[in-house]
């Protein structure tokens, strides 16, 4: 794994990055700056801030100290140059593409994604005049074939929803590089503890911080992290960054801010205008969550793999899709890209199809039936009837969310309790289907 800091390792940075003691009070826990606005020193200071001549705070829609601390922590953990935190993971996806896209332009999108993202990109983006071109997530050659003059970005999930799918990031990054467009990677399911997409050539990383990063299902949020490596300056494909910006008196972001340009733009234009900023309270919850990310992810991963191994042997289970199992077609990719663990979200097929799938949800006691993942609690979901239900039958199968599919997000409870719960649910299912 890439060295994130000249001196300190990942676990140290998870605790310390971005959250130095408060200079005013010495508070050790980072303060919640629950304020909408900030007093200017004088008219000249205010002008400097509005002209982007000096760092500082104007209004919390653009930036906020607690939110900024979260941005720095996440940018550090991904090995990026800067971060922009948003109100949700969905907002992060749109914010990531906002500096890149324009009406008539295309984004190439892997077809194995969270169902909500398929809807957002496939349907709602049409209202902006943005076209999403869906390609086979398992086939880098398919990405290559989809590149046109109008392509402005490639978007994939690293460890893809609804589970068990590992993307060949290095190969797709090569396609993006050859096409001269940034690769945007959703790293929500892996987290930077398991995978750092910049190491494989990604240019921008997004997360739903709602999931493993905050970790307890208590704070919505998202983030966009820029590697600082993409050459925007003089690149006519990306006029938002490479041409004078009329709203900032002809300032050119790529020239004035160099490798900070994308992050500066994301605050000064994207957040300012789209308004999808995160609340300081949610940022604070997420900051605290990240401090324990390494410990939680280790337990999530070991529990999930053991549960997957148990399910694989259960007579009422048709198949299990977990990249840590030797039976998985993604086993080798998992070893390459996620050597420390392949996450805790995966799918399996119950015998008996749709009806069995629904019944399974009613039989479990420890698993919560919710539309979330990456919680300390173990979660269970039937994608075809919930998160992916707006999709067509063909899309469901492409997305790995067919009628018999159950998705688990395995929590950090006692492993034997989780296995016992799934065992009794599967066994009663069998009896009831007889």
Partner 1 sequence: MPSSTFIDHSSYRDSHIREILNNVNSIAMVGASATWNRPSNFVMKYLLQKGYKVIPVNPNTKEKEICGEKVFGDLASISGTVDMVDMFRPEHEAHELVEDAIKIGAKVFWMQLEIFNNNAAQLAEKAGLQVVMNRCPKIEYARLFGELGWGGINTGVISNSRRRLK
For 328, counting Cβ atoms within 10 Å of its Cβ (0-12 exposed, 13-18 middle, 19+ buried), the class is buried
18's torsion region: left (phi>0), alpha (psi -120 to 50) or beta? left
**Phi/psi of residue 272, nearest 5 degrees:** -55, -45
406 with 350: CB under 8 angstroms?
yes
**Region of 56-64, 112-120, 126-134, 294-302 interacting with partner 1 (CB under 8 A):** 56-64
Is residue 46 a contact residue for partner 1 (CB under 8 A)? no
Give how many residues touch partner 1 by CB under 8 A: 50
Contact pick of 2, 7, 127, 394 for partner 1 (by CB under 8 A): 7
Q: For residues 214 and 289, is the Cβ–Cβ distance under 8 A?
A: yes
Enumerate residues 6+ apart whose C-beta is below 8 A from 416. none
Degrees, nearest 5: CA angle 323-176-169: 15
Cβ proximity of 8 and 16 under 8 Å: yes
Structure tokens at 210: 């709602």
- Is 353 an interacting residue with respect to partner 1 (CB under 8 A)? no
Beta-carbon contacts of 262 under 8 Å, excluding residues fewer than 6 positions away, are: 82, 99, 204, 226, 228, 230, 232, 241, 253
Applying CB under 8 A, among 60, 66, 76, 88 the residue interacting with partner 1 is 76
Q: In angstroms, give the least distance from the CB of 78 to partner 1.
A: 9
Site for partner 1 in 14-43 (CB under 8 A): 16-18, 20-24, 26
* Upper half-sphere CA count for residue 41 (Cβ side, 13 Å): 7
Rounded to an integer, what distance in angstroms lies between the CA atom of residue 240 and that of residue 98? 9
The residue range among 136-144, 172-180, 246-254, 330-338 that interacts with partner 1, by the rule CB under 8 A, is 246-254
Tell me how far, at minimum, the Cβ of 3 lies from partner 1, in Å: 11
In the set 6, 103, 246, 315, which binds partner 1 (CB under 8 A)?
6
- What's 124's DSSP letter? G
**What are the residues whose beta carbons fall under 8 Å from the beta carbon of 49, sequence distance 6 or more?**
40, 56, 57, 58
> Which residue in the set 1, 8, 46, 150 belongs to the binding site for partner 1 (CB under 8 A)?
8
Contact between 9 and partner 1 per CB under 8 A: no
Please choose, out of 6-14, 107-115, 194-202, 214-222, the segment that lies near partner 1 by the rule CB under 8 A: 6-14
By CB under 8 A, name the one of 10, 14, 81, 314 that touches partner 1. Answer: 81
**112 versus 267: smaller Cβ distance to partner 1:** 267
User: Which is nearer to partner 1, 117 or 245 (by Cβ)?
Assistant: 245
Answer yes or no whether residue 96 interacts with partner 1 by CB under 8 A. Answer: no
Helix (H) or strand (E) run with residue 221 in it? none
Interface residue with partner 1, options 90, 112, 267, 314 (CB under 8 A): 267
Least gap, CB of 267 to partner 1 (angstroms)? 7
Q: Give every CB contact of residue 126 below 8 A, 6+ residues apart in sequence.
A: none
Contact stretch for partner 1 (CB under 8 A) within 77-85, 167-175, 183-191, 414-422? 77-85
Query: In the numeric block, which tokens belong to residue 202?
Result: 């990604």
Instruction: Choose which of 14, 60, 66, 85 interacts with partner 1 (CB under 8 A).
Output: 85
Task: Determine which residue in the list 40, 59, 128, 248 makes contact with partner 1, applying CB under 8 A.
Answer: 248
Please report, as ranges, the residues that interact with partner 1 according to CB under 8 A. 5-8, 12-13, 16-18, 20-24, 26, 45, 48, 51-57, 63, 65, 67-69, 71-72, 75-76, 80-85, 248-251, 255-256, 258, 260, 263-264, 267
């Amino acid at each position: 794994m890439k060295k994130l800091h000249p001196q300190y390792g990942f676990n140290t940075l998870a605790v310390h990055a971005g959250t130095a003691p408060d200079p005013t009070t010495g508070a050790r826990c980072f303060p919640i700056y629950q304020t909408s606005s900030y007093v200017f020193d004088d008219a000249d200071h205010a002008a400097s801030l509005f002209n982007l001549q000096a760092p500082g705070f104007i209004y919390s829609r653009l930036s906020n100290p607690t939110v900024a601390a979260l941005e720095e922590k996440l940018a550090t953990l991904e090995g990026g140059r800067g971060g922009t935190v948003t109100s949700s993971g969905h907002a992060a996806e749109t914010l990531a593409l906002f500096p890149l896209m324009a009406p008539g332009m295309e984004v190439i999108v892997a077809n194995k994604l969270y169902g909500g993202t398929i809807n957002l990109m496939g349907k709602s983006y049409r209202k902006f005049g943005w076209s999403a071109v869906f390609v086979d997530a398992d086939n880098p050659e398919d990405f290559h074939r989809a590149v046109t003059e109008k392509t402005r970005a490639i978007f994939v999930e690293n460890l893809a929803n609804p589970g068990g799918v590992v993307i060949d990031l290095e190969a797709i990054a090569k396609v993006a590089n050859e096409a001269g467009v940034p690769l945007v990677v959703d790293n929500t399911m892996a987290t930077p503890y398991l995978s750092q997409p910049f190491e494989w050539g990604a240019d921008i990383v997004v997360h739903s911080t709602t999931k493993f990063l905050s970790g307890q299902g208590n704070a919505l949020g998202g983030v966009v992290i820029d590697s600082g490596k993409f050459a925007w300056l003089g690149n006519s494909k990306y006029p938002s960054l490479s041409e004078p910006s009329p709203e900032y008196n002809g300032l050119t972001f790529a020239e004035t801010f160099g490798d900070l340009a994308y992050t500066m733009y994301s605050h000064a234009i994207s957040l300012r205008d789209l308004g999808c900023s995160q609340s300081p309270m949610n940022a604070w919850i997420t900051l605290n969550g990240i401090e324990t990310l390494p410990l939680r992810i280790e337990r999530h991963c070991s529990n999930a793999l053991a549960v997957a191994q148990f399910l694989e042997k259960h007579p009422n289970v048709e198949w299990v899709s977990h990249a840590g199992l030797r039976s998985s077609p993604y086993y080798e990719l998992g070893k390459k890209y996620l050597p420390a663990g392949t996450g805790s979200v995966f799918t399996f097929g119950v015998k008996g199809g749709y009806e069995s799938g629904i019944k399974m949800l009613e039989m479990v006691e420890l698993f919560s039936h919710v539309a979330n993942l990456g919680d300390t609690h173990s979660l269970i979901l039937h994608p075809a009837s919930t998160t992916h239900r707006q999709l067509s039958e063909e899309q469901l199968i492409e997305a790995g969310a067919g009628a018999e599919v159950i998705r688990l997000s395995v929590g950090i409870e006692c492993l034997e309790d989780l296995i016992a719960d799934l065992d009794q649910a599967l066994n009663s299912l069998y009896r009831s289907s007889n």
